[in-house]
Amino acid sequence: MTSLVTRFVSGIYLNHPENSYELHRKMFSIEEDNFMVDILESSCLPEEQFTAMRHLYIANSSHILLTFSLTDPTSLEDVLKYVDIIQNLPPIKGIKTKEHHIALVGTKSDLVNQRRVTKEQGVRFAATVGCPYFEVS
């Protein structure tokens, strides 16, 4: 589980999390509204594995956070593959694909000396995708 997901799901921080392919679910409230959030972590698998399951989760998702490490420029390049998958998702029989709201999130913003992707690069990339950009530590 990544540090970001661990923090969101359980409220704790792991400095060296393990990569995984997992589905996490959490209920949370904003004001008086309750929301169920499903988080699919898939960064550690080759793109060709679990393609059908990934497509099904994407088709059923309304909001998607694409994360990358600010300390690893190739992780930002990898996000482009997922943008392409999301924007060109093939129809799935019996499933009405939802409209997707995408946000790009740069992680590890606290590692200033190890940073290899600038905020400007993240903002430009998000603009090409047409989505908002955020940074988290």
**Is the pLDDT confidence value at 125 over 90?**
yes
Question: How is domain 47-137 classified at the CATH fold level?
Answer: Rossmann fold (3.40.50)
Q: 18 or 50: which carries more pLDDT confidence?
A: 50
9-41: pLDDT as tens digits: 666 666 655 555 566 777 878 888 887 777 766
**Is the pLDDT confidence value at 92 over 90?**
no
User: Would you state the structure tokens that stand for residue 137, as one six-digit string?
Assistant: 């530590």
Comparing 35-39, 77-81, 82-86, 124-128, which segment has the lowest mean pLDDT? 35-39
User: Would you state the structure tokens that stand for residue 17, as one six-digit string?
Assistant: 């999390």
**How far is it, in rounded angstroms, from Cα 57 to Cα 15?**
28
Look over the chain and give the mean of its residue pLDDT values, rounded to a whole number. Answer: 81
Q: Which of 103, 123, 43 is closest to 75 using CA atoms? A: 43
pTM of the predicted model as reported, rounded to 2 decimal places: 0.76
Domain with CATH 3.40.50.300 in the chain: 47-137
**Is the pLDDT confidence value at 6 over 70?**
no
Extended strands (E) in 4-132: 22-30, 33-41, 63-69, 101-107
Task: Look at residue 56 and give its three-state secondary structure.
Answer: helix
**How far is it, in rounded angstroms, from Cα 75 to Cα 72?**
6
Average pLDDT over residues 35-53: 67
